[in-house]
Structure 1
């Protein structure tokens, strides 16, 4: 479509392109359902480019890059400052010998946390933890066992462990940590075992994101339903108009024959 020739007649393909922009805008939350329905109705009533252009003038074209990056929400000033509390940690070590241990939930990570696992395993979960310092060390010794260190997104992780017939591994390394987020250094030794770092959101956040995705899918389905219904109504109106024109022509011809 173009603004240079607003009087040109719009085609069905032009209307379909406009409805695609409207559907994307609804799914992204730029339009609510009432606005979507109003603009959709105007789209199928439009006959020229001049009538179609204003419908999407304030919406981005499909595939256009967003003005603000949507990959990671901007950090809220002071959001991490409230979790770097200083002082001593609430737990400074953990041991598992032919068994297991967990450190998770609300706890304070000390400047240095030491852990040891022999024929066992451990989980050190920092997602809901506070931090005694802006930089903490998690020291892991795993002998024929394994440990998992779970950190929230936005935290910088530095791996400095040594593995012999074992290894230290970080999943989904976060290359752009949040400003002011703590720095976690994972060090230690693994023999016939392993230490793994995972970046994961909390279960509550995971449920919230899952619910958002579910609601987005419902909105998209509703938008597609509205789109198809409006398109069917428009095509039905066109068929009825064509049938009416045919009847009128037949009537004119019949009266003309007389």
Structure 2
């Protein structure tokens, strides 16, 4: 018989990008309903994207009615476990309120393969050349960009963006350049190895809203660069230039 102390705590199991994205989208819905201000939304989004375990994600939605966080596989209790010191824990569920772990309408379960979507471009790869995507296009919920001795240029300003886009960028002796509009929230989580992974210093000021789309950029820059630049829409750039 396994000693009680040796039984693994399901809440300490690691979460993946699917669970983090699910919580981030729920937080955006809560902000759109007026339950979170922009400062609190930023704080919770950062915590969601850096969460490592189910215990890290649970409290982020615990005080938001009707919002559900992912649960460890095969475990669905009617209440959250004891949270870390200083983290509020909700009481018994209110009748009619979905239990934690109930997915939001239209949200795929963690680990469920993304359905095929017409016109969605899942990847952009360049080797000894240049790949450019601009104008109206659909990157889907996950997009990979790889530049090896080359350039990948992604303009998301007119793209059909989902609420949360996870963009995995890899630049090896090359550059991945990403343009977003002022209303897009950017989360940089990549690593620069003798390279740069950054927000462009000449980006225009952000003009964020509670329902702003989130572009989460992960990946690695090895002797290259991954750069995100917040730019005005093409028609507005000329007007801003004349104003300066």
Q: Tell me the TM-score normalized by structure 1.
A: 0.46
Higher helix share: 1
Q: Tell me the TM-score normalized by structure 2.
A: 0.48
